């Protein structure tokens, strides 16, 4: 059993790697074509364009890993069927269920790899890539409105006109209200930098409103304690789907504390936890095709079917995520439904393969 497991793992892993390299090369080429539009802007030269494409590759690896697992497994099992190795296994006493169990162990390895890439590598590489690109093109990180970024912090509303790639802020305006929504004071600062758990504001102008007077104070520097942290501002650098689960949980807690809607980030969190499990589903989905293949079937048909199913899976993920946001579906339902549908399909196909 161990020898068979190692043999299957080696063959499937090799084919998955080859499929992955081919898909990554294709997506990286598309990234390169897209980035050529901004080539020469600021200091964004060819070297930095290539570096940006390279740093974006782990994100593509995470996105297409289940597709590569499906295509690689289908191709490998098709080769086993072509050379009658699957027939030998069946004659040796291996049922479809026992072969599926072996594939699940292999799929578990791919699941752990996918989770590792999505949790540790992709968030870091995406953040570095976006910061490098923004610095080189002399852009700002993001702004939700023409007036810049707005964030709710307890009873305060914070407006930063610009967020720099190192998450420092420029032209900051802080509006502090009491529990009755009465304006107590405003602060304006030219810049702010997060150091040792606090924001250090520079060139601060503070206006305090009382019942009968308005007091204005000017200070060269001021410390500002806030729930807003650079980790939260990193949300502006990468999409929620590319963030780590830890950062998503932290940002969801921040939004919940400030009574803001968290649905999009909850869907992204559940997808982050469930998406790696798609590798388990894909190896099972590939098995019925091996038993249904004729020995003379060619590899191109397996690759085409695998890519088609992978594309359908990715489309379903996007569709259910957006439908969940529009219809306020439970985040877990939106994230898990495509995987459950593919799992049911795989089990049904295995059942009919076993009956034959």
Q: Please give the full DSSP string across 331-347, using - where no structure is assigned.
A: HHHHHHHHHHHHHHHHH
Angle between helices 299-327 and 46-82 (to 10 degrees): 120
Phi then psi for 92, rounded to 5 degrees?
A: -75, 0
Give residue 223's pLDDT. 92
Q: Which of 177, 208, 227 is the last residue of a domain?
A: 227
Q: How far apart, in Å, are the Cα atoms of 292 and each of 3, 295, 303?
A: 25, 10, 15
Phi then psi for 227, rounded to 5 degrees?
A: -75, -15
Burial of residue 77 (number of CB atoms within 10 Å: 0-12, 13-18, 19+): buried
Whether 33 and 90 map to the same domain: the answer is yes
In a domain, 250, yes or no: no
CA 326 to mean position of chain CA atoms: 20
CB 246 within 8 A of CB 124: no
Give residue 17's pLDDT. 95
Tokens of 227: 């729930």
Degrees (nearest 5) of the Cα angle 24, 83, 71? 20
In a domain, 256, yes or no: no
In a domain, 259, yes or no: no
The boundaries of the domain holding residue 10 are 2-137+265-355
In a domain, 98, yes or no: yes
**Cα Rg, the chain, nearest whole Å:** 26
Burial of residue 311 (number of CB atoms within 10 Å: 0-12, 13-18, 19+): exposed
Whether 7 and 133 map to the same domain: the answer is yes
Whether 130 and 205 map to the same domain: the answer is no
Whether 13 and 44 map to the same domain: the answer is yes
Degrees (nearest 5) of the Cα angle 343, 344, 346? 65
Whether 47 and 161 map to the same domain: the answer is no
Whether 55 and 196 map to the same domain: the answer is no
Give residue 298's pLDDT. 64
Whether 9 and 131 map to the same domain: the answer is yes
For 57, other C-beta atoms within 10 Å of its C-beta total 18
Whether 26 and 125 map to the same domain: the answer is yes
In a domain, 238, yes or no: no
**What is the chain's mean pLDDT, rounded?**
87
CB 63 within 8 A of CB 117: no
Which residues does the chain have with pLDDT short of 70? 1, 138-146, 235-237, 292-299, 356
In a domain, 243, yes or no: no
Give residue 305's pLDDT. 86
Tokens of 240: 């929620």
How far apart, in whole angstroms, are the C-alpha atoms of residue 340 and residue 174?
46
Give residue 156's pLDDT. 87
Tokens of 49: 């364009």
* Those residues with Cβ within 8 angstroms of residue 182's Cβ, 6 or more apart along the chain or in another chain: none
Angle between helices 96-116 and 46-82 (to 10 degrees): 170
Tokens of 355: 């009956």
Whether 210 and 290 map to the same domain: the answer is no
CB 328 within 8 A of CB 263: yes
Give residue 145's pLDDT. 59
The total domain count for the chain is 2
Give pTM, 2 decimals.
0.81
In a domain, 36, yes or no: yes
Give residue 175's pLDDT. 94
Tokens of 20: 């992955």
CB 202 within 8 A of CB 220: yes
Tokens of 108: 């578990």
In a domain, 307, yes or no: yes
Give residue 342's pLDDT. 96
Whether 101 and 176 map to the same domain: the answer is no
Q: Which of 180, 205, 227 is the last residue of a domain?
A: 227
How far apart, in whole angstroms, are the C-alpha atoms of residue 165 and residue 168?
7
Whether 216 and 280 map to the same domain: the answer is no
- Indicate the DSSP class of residue 235: G
Q: Which of 227, 247, 278 is the last residue of a domain?
A: 227
Tokens of 9: 């793992």
Whether 86 and 159 map to the same domain: the answer is no
Length of the chain: 356
Residue 181 sits in a domain of what CATH number?
A: 2.30.30
Helix, strand and coil percent figures for the chain, each rounded to 5: 65, 15, 20
């Amino acid at each position: 059993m161990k020898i068979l497991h190692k043999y299957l793992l080696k063959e499937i892993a090799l084919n998955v790697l080859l499929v992955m390299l081919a898909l990554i090369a294709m997506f990286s080429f598309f990234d390169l074509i897209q980035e050529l539009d901004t080539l020469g802007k600021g200091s964004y030269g060819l070297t930095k364009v290539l570096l940006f494409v390279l740093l974006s590759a782990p994100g593509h690896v995470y996105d297409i890993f289940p597709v590569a697992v499906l295509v690689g497994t289908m191709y490998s099992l098709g080769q086993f069927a072509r050379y009658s190795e699957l027939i030998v296994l069946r004659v040796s006493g291996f049922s479809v269920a026992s072969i599926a169990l072996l594939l699940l162990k292999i799929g578990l390895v791919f699941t752990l790899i996918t989770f590792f890439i999505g949790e540790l590598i992709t968030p870091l590489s995406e953040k570095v890539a976006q910061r490098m690109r923004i610095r080189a093109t002399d852009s700002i990180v993001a702004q939700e409105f023409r007036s810049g970024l707005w964030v709710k912090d307890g009873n305060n509303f914070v407006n930063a006109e610009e967020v720099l790639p190192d998450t420092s802020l420029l032209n900051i305006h802080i509006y502090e209200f009491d529990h009755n929504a009465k304006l107590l004071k405003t602060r304006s600062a030219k810049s702010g930098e997060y150091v040792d758990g606090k924001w250090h504001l520079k060139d601060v102008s503070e206006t305090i409103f009382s019942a009968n007077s308005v007091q204005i104070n000017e200070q060269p520097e001021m410390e500002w304690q806030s729930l807003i942290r650079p980790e939260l501002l990193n949300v502006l650098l990468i999409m929620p789907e590319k963030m780590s689960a830890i950062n998503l949980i932290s940002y969801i807690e921040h939004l919940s504390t400030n009574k803001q809607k968290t649905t999009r980030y909850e869907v992204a969190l559940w997808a982050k936890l469930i998406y790696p499990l798609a590798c388990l589903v894909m190896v099972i989905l590939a098995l019925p095709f091996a038993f249904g293949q004729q020995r003379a079937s060619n590899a191109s048909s397996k690759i085409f079917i695998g890519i088609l199913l992978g594309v359908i899976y990715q489309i379903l993920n996007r569709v259910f995520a957006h439908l969940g946001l529009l219809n306020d579906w439970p985040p877990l339902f939106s994230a898990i439904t495509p995987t459950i549908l593919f799992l049911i399909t795989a089990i049904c196909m295995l059942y009919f393969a076993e009956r034959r």
